[in-house]
A and B are shown apart, each in its own frame.
Chain A
Amino acid sequence: MGDVAIRVENLSKAYKIAATKYRHDTLRDQLMDGVRSLLRPRASRRASRETFHALRDVSFEVKRGEVVGIVGQNGAGKSTLLKILSRITEPSSGRAEIYGRVGSLLEVGTGFDSELTGLENIYLSGAILGMRKAEIDRKLDEIIAFSEVAKFIDTPVKRYSSGMYVRLAFAVAAHLEPEILIVDEVLAVGDAAFQRKCLGKMGDVAQAGRTVLFVSHNMAAITRLCTWGLWLDKGYLRDFGATDDVVAKYFSAGVQALGELTFRDRLPAAPSSEYVRLLGLRVRSHRGEVTASLDARSPFDVEIEYEILRPATSLRVGFRITAHDGTVLFSSTDSDGGGETDRIPGTYVSRCTIPGPFLNFGQYFLSVGSDTPMIQSHFLLERALAFNVEQTGGIGGHISDGRQGVLRPVLPWTVQRLA
């Protein structure tokens, strides 16, 4: 009984990707390419293949019972790492030592067959994920209860709604009891209530002393469940440490810290629909300057600049503010202003004033979007901008620091001597 669960040393994975011109999809292509390469110098053949490094020289160690959250952009190598540790694919170099039985959930419903009934799929999927039949027999009632689809357990899953399908699939997966659990983005599915249930179940797994590796874009889930955060960036291990630190660094590195994001000079990249195009997003302090650093005591403005491309009815733009751990604080749209929401073509700015003191010290993210309620979502740009709410002196001179929570409003109090 040692206390290391996973030890990864200098793990790398390179994929050879053929340039589109030289795809080797059929034997004929391969033969043609062989003939071609006989006629041409070696160098030109080399050039037709590129190497893509999904993971570069990654080393880390996870102790037994630790829950590690893996964060990173798409294509950073998160899934590759999980696939190597699950033995689905081999590394190009380096090694990993695994101490204990591994169970991996890289998708919801691995091994499900749509023709089979729910009950049959519990057995099939369970067996594929690594459970023994006796184990499934024993947990069957529990799995069915967790899935909340007991009534339809003898119905082929192809007749299930997607929600039911996900519930059943996760119920099977959640009852897998490996010593090391590897989980990819599977929690991104299902309704909010079921997600909470799944998070709870994952929490139980961690409580039970099992080691968990968990990839998610849901930072709130990562910070809640994980003791450690591991940040992958373009295949490199960027940081590995306490979850809050890693998540905060990850967030601040990935987004604009200038207080302004503009698309005026790169219109083709602007989020848009046929009705509206985003031109820019700004945070402006109470003194009118565009900045990412705001005074906690003072109000500030969020400005969204956009262009209406064709006459639009009931169109609104708005934003959402999230804390560094991904918790949504609130969202707001310009339809709250009560003005006219029918717009003719032209450029517009929608401005919202956020009062101060209101937000606590810390880092926040602005997401921006536009929609026609119930009809169409025009664009949504997640975490478009980051800003800091800074501590610039006490509030009212009484308490200088250390209020809990993401908000720090100054509320009316009365103090009355009773006796």
Chain B
Amino acid sequence: MRELIENPSPAPTRRALPRDVGPVDSSTNGSPTSVIEASRGLASLDLAAIWQRRELLYFLVWRDVKVRYKQTAIGAAWAVLSPLLTVVIFAVVFGGLARIPSDGLPYIVFAFAGFLPWTYFAQAFGRAAGSLVGNAHLITKVYFPRLMIPLAAVTTPAVDFCLSLLPLFGLMLWYRVAPTWALLALPGFLLLAATIALGMALWLAPINVRYRDVNHTVPFLVQAWMYCSPVVYPLSLVPESWRVVYSLNPMVGVIEGFRWALLGTAAPDATAIALSVAVGLAVLISGLVFFRRMERAFADVI
């Protein structure tokens, strides 16, 4: 009965202090799972951490694909329709009115085969460049390897890309353009386009975190870039003496490669492909270094 009225002696469950850190014997602890410190110099890439969280990459892509076509009446059919409509306009304006040559192919097929990788690239680059700012609510609230955000952003449009191959194959059937074994090289060129898009975005996305000017620059950049690439006109239209300089644009190799892989045209210029790969890798690697350097301040600045 006594406890009912009186306070029990000091709660026995509480452990005694002392709580000062002092020199702690850490021998019992083993090495920490992670050490948090101010980082200096070059950060490691830590690809293992990304591999460990690969399911998250899948879910981020899955989210973007799902959300993209929610509450639309025809859903993913937009992925088929929108490039088709654009190419029809190209065919009327550039092929019909301006009479731009198309290396002996029906212009609409020619333009479509170039426009597909371009659309993928433009979407991947555009999404990835804005991806950090677009996912600010995640960056400030939870930790995961930040690289996964632009990585997911360049992966998502690949789904649309695959769907938009369907109308191309339809057109090829209609115009009786037969694919060749070169088709097998297609994934390689898609990967190259992804490399370039990711590399560029790894530079621009962190800058976008600090200066939203990037948001306004990217659409213009993409548009200008398209006219510097052989999307609506063939490479043969570019004067011979300018070809190498022109091919420093890594998308030249990608688009030429796509035409070859899809339509079985003459094999693409080896220099263009080599330059494309070299520039693409250079942009990706420098982009990775830059991204890792900027990464540590994302949550503070965004």
Tell me whether B240 is interfacial, beta carbon within 8 Å: no
**Residue from the list B21, B56, B139, B212 in contact with A60, Cβ < 8 A:** B21
Assembly CA distance A95 to B140 (angstroms): 20
Identify the interface centre among A9, A61, A111, A227: most chain B CB within 10 Å of its CB. Answer: A111
**Residue from the list A3, A83, A227 in contact with B14, Cβ < 8 A:** A227
Interface SS, A side: mixed
Assembly CA distance A91 to B211 (angstroms): 23
- By size class, the interface of chain B is 35 or more
Assembly CA distance A227 to B58 (angstroms): 40
Assembly CA distance A222 to B36 (angstroms): 26
- Given A97-B32, A98-B36, A241-B17, A2:B26 Cβ within 8 A: yes
Tell me whether A104 is interfacial, beta carbon within 8 Å: yes
Assembly CA distance A132 to B67 (angstroms): 22
Assembly CA distance A28 to B212 (angstroms): 11
Q: Is the CB of B138 within 8 A of A90?
A: no
Q: Which of A78-99 contact B (CB under 8 A)?
A: 83-99
Q: Which of A304-360 contact B (CB under 8 A)?
A: none
- Given A110-B138, A124-B59, A3:B28 Cβ within 8 A: yes
Q: Which of A192-220 contact B (CB under 8 A)?
A: none
Q: Is the CB of A96 within 8 A of B212?
A: no
B residues in contact with A1, CB < 8 Å: 30
A residues in contact with B71, CB < 8 Å: 115
**Residue from the list A61, A92, A123, A129 in contact with B142, Cβ < 8 A:** A129
Q: Is the CB of B138 within 8 A of A128?
A: yes
Identify the interface centre among A26, A99, A128: most chain B CB within 10 Å of its CB. Answer: A128
B residues in contact with A104, CB < 8 Å: 142-143
- Given A98-B36, A101-B33, A116-B63, A128:B19 Cβ within 8 A: no
- Name the CB-closest residue of B to A156: B70
B residues in contact with A98, CB < 8 Å: 32-36
B residues in contact with A86, CB < 8 Å: 142-143
Assembly CA distance A342 to B66 (angstroms): 58
Tell me whether A155 is interfacial, beta carbon within 8 Å: no
Task: Name which of A289-297, A380-388, A399-407 contacts chain B.
Answer: A399-407
Tell me whether B44 is interfacial, beta carbon within 8 Å: no
Assembly CA distance A171 to B39 (angstroms): 35
**Residue from the list A7, A25, A123 in contact with B24, Cβ < 8 A:** A7
Tell me whether A100 is interfacial, beta carbon within 8 Å: yes
B residues in contact with A261, CB < 8 Å: none
A residues in contact with B24, CB < 8 Å: 4, 7, 61
Task: Name which of B1-9, B98-106, B180-188, B241-249 contacts chain A.
Answer: B1-9
- Name the CB-closest residue of A to B34: A98
B residues in contact with A242, CB < 8 Å: 14, 17
- Given A26-B211, A60-B19, A124-B63, A404:B142 Cβ within 8 A: no
- Name the CB-closest residue of A to B213: A27
Q: Shortest Cβ distance from B10 into chain A, in angstroms?
A: 9
- Name the CB-closest residue of B to A12: B38
- Given A88-B139, A116-B63, A96:B35 Cβ within 8 A: yes
Tell me whether A34 is interfacial, beta carbon within 8 Å: no
Q: Which of B59-77 contact A (CB under 8 A)?
A: 59, 62-63, 66-67, 70-71
- Given A60-B19, A60-B21, A99-B32, A107:B59 Cβ within 8 A: no
Assembly CA distance A2 to B143 (angstroms): 25
Q: Which of B245-301 contact A (CB under 8 A)?
A: 296-297, 299-300
Assembly CA distance A87 to B36 (angstroms): 7
Q: Which of B21-62 contact A (CB under 8 A)?
A: 21, 24, 26, 28-30, 32-39, 53, 55-56, 58-59, 62
Assembly CA distance A83 to B142 (angstroms): 8
Q: Is the CB of B17 within 8 A of A26?
A: no
Q: Shortest Cβ distance from B20 into chain A, in angstroms?
A: 8
Assembly CA distance A133 to B137 (angstroms): 22
Q: Is the CB of A87 within 8 A of B5?
A: no
Q: Is the CB of B66 within 8 A of A116?
A: yes
Tell me whether B141 is interfacial, beta carbon within 8 Å: yes
Tell me whether A240 is interfacial, beta carbon within 8 Å: yes
B residues in contact with A129, CB < 8 Å: 142
Assembly CA distance A85 to B32 (angstroms): 13
B residues in contact with A100, CB < 8 Å: 33
Q: Which of A107-133 contact B (CB under 8 A)?
A: 107, 110-111, 113, 115-116, 120, 123-124, 127-130, 132-133
Tell me whether B15 is interfacial, beta carbon within 8 Å: yes
Assembly CA distance A170 to B56 (angstroms): 19
A234-251: contact bitstring with B at CB < 8 Å (1 yes, 0 no)?
A: 000000111000000000
Tell me whether A152 is interfacial, beta carbon within 8 Å: no
- Name the CB-closest residue of A to B148: A128
Assembly CA distance A96 to B26 (angstroms): 13
Assembly CA distance A228 to B3 (angstroms): 25
Q: Is the CB of A90 within 8 A of B296?
A: yes
B residues in contact with A367, CB < 8 Å: none
Q: Shortest Cβ distance from A233 into chain B, in angstroms?
A: 17
Tell me whether B144 is interfacial, beta carbon within 8 Å: yes
A375-414: contact bitstring with B at CB < 8 Å (1 yes, 0 no)?
A: 0000000000000000000000001011110000000000
New contact pairs (19) apart from A99-B32, A133-B59, CB-CB < 8 Å:
A4-B24, A4-B26, A7-B21, A24-B210, A25-B211, A26-B212, A61-B24, A87-B34, A88-B299, A90-B37, A95-B37, A102-B33, A102-B143, A104-B142, A111-B142, A116-B66, A242-B14, A242-B17, A404-B3
B binding-site residues for A, Cβ under 8 Å:
3-7, 13-15, 17, 19, 21, 24, 26, 28-30, 32-39, 53, 55-56, 58-59, 62-63, 66-67, 70-71, 137-144, 210-213, 296-297, 299-300
Give me the 6 closest cross-chain CB pairs, A-B, nearest first.
Answer: A2-B29, A97-B32, A402-B6, A127-B59, A87-B143, A96-B36
Question: 27 A-B residue contacts at CB 8 Å?
Answer: A3-B28, A61-B21, A83-B140, A87-B34, A89-B299, A96-B35, A96-B36, A96-B37, A97-B35, A99-B33, A100-B33, A102-B143, A106-B142, A107-B141, A115-B67, A116-B63, A116-B70, A124-B62, A124-B63, A127-B58, A130-B53, A132-B55, A133-B55, A227-B13, A402-B5, A404-B3, A404-B7
